[in-house]
Amino acid sequence: MAIELALSEVAAGVFELRLPIPFEDGLVNVFLFRAGSEVDLLDCGMSSEDSLEAIQRALEQLGARRLRRLVVTHIHPDHYGAAGVLAGPGRADLYMHRLEVPLVHPRYVELEHLIEEVKRYLLVNGVPDEEAEVLSNSQRALSQLVTPADPSVQLDGAELIEMGDHVLKVEWTPGHSPGHICLFDGGVRARTSTRSAWPSRKASRTSRPSRSKAASPSRSRPSLCAGGCLSSHEFRGPALAGSP
């Protein structure tokens, strides 16, 4: 039986999609930004059949002919897991902070080394052998739900990125993960203000030569949310000021 599609518009042209994950409260929120027949995606859920099918159905429902850009807030499995399916040559461009990039291989590709290291750390700190074995192996199960991908664009923070009809500023917010980012909507609307609103830094493209369309000032843009927050966990769209 097909799962119900949990897709709702939370701001003008911005859609929250709830995707299944096997931990926490069982769901993660990702956000689709529509611009004509193209869609940009913020976070992508895990690389599971149900989750990927939901993304595909959401894209169809929004009339998207192409997924243009995938921005991930950090490389934890519920935010980055499907990156290798959705992004890559001929598919979406993947954007992530440069401090997340070196974490990908040890965490999802050269996994055995990490598992050994975690187990050694747990044993040294007094965790009983049996529990250390279970805990260190938990990473192996999660890695099954991650299809890694290298980024097209590595971010530093302070760049402007065009997401759908919105121009959002990358804010580097380390803590939860070294290269964790948030996207900030400064309500950029006017043709003249998009390039001068913030000290924009160009995103550095690592594997593709074509230029990002970041901060193209060609149209007037609606404000994403006034004083609100789109969250990956816990909060739903109604927390936004002025949203339904």
Residues 6+ apart with CB under 8 A from 84: 47, 146, 147, 148, 149
Q: Please identify, using beta-carbon distances, which residue of 60 and 171 lies nearer to Zn ion.
A: 171
Q: Please identify, using beta-carbon distances, which residue of 55 and 142 lies nearer to Zn ion.
A: 142
* Beta bridge partners of residue 57, listed in sequence order: none
Which parts of 81-140 interact with Zn ion (CB under 5 A)? none
Residue (of 149, 240, 162, 174) closest to 202 by Cα position: 162
Cα–Cα distances (Å) from 203 to 14, 18, 108, 168, 209, in that order, read 23, 28, 25, 13, 12
**Min. distance of Cβ 74 from Zn ion in angstroms?**
6
Record the tokens describing residue 175, joined without a space: 């803590």
Q: Please identify, using beta-carbon distances, which residue of 34 and 180 lies nearer to Zn ion.
A: 180
Q: Please identify, using beta-carbon distances, which residue of 146 and 167 lies nearer to Zn ion.
A: 146
Total site size for Zn ion, rule CB under 5 A: 1
By CB under 5 A, tell whether 34 contacts Zn ion.
no
**Min. distance of Cβ 76 from Zn ion in angstroms?**
3
**Min. distance of Cβ 29 from Zn ion in angstroms?**
13
**Min. distance of Cβ 87 from Zn ion in angstroms?**
19
φ, ψ for residue 38, nearest 5 deg: -115, 150
Q: Please identify, using beta-carbon distances, which residue of 103 and 214 lies nearer to Zn ion.
A: 103
Encoded amino acid at 188, one letter: V
Record the tokens describing residue 170, joined without a space: 């990358």
Draw the binding track, 48-77, toward Zn ion (x: CB under 5 A; -: no contact): ----------------------------x-
Q: Please identify, using beta-carbon distances, which residue of 76 and 107 lies nearer to Zn ion.
A: 76
**Min. distance of Cβ 95 from Zn ion in angstroms?**
17
Return the residue nearest Zn ion (CB atom).
Answer: 76
* Contact indicator for 160, 215 with CB cutoff of 8 Å: yes
**Min. distance of Cβ 220 from Zn ion in angstroms?**
35
Instruction: Estimate the crossing angle of helix 111-124 against helix 129-143, to 10 degrees.
Output: 150
Cα–Cα distances (Å) from 237 to 30, 131, 133, 173, 223, in that order, read 11, 39, 40, 22, 15
Residues that bind Zn ion (CB under 5 A): 76
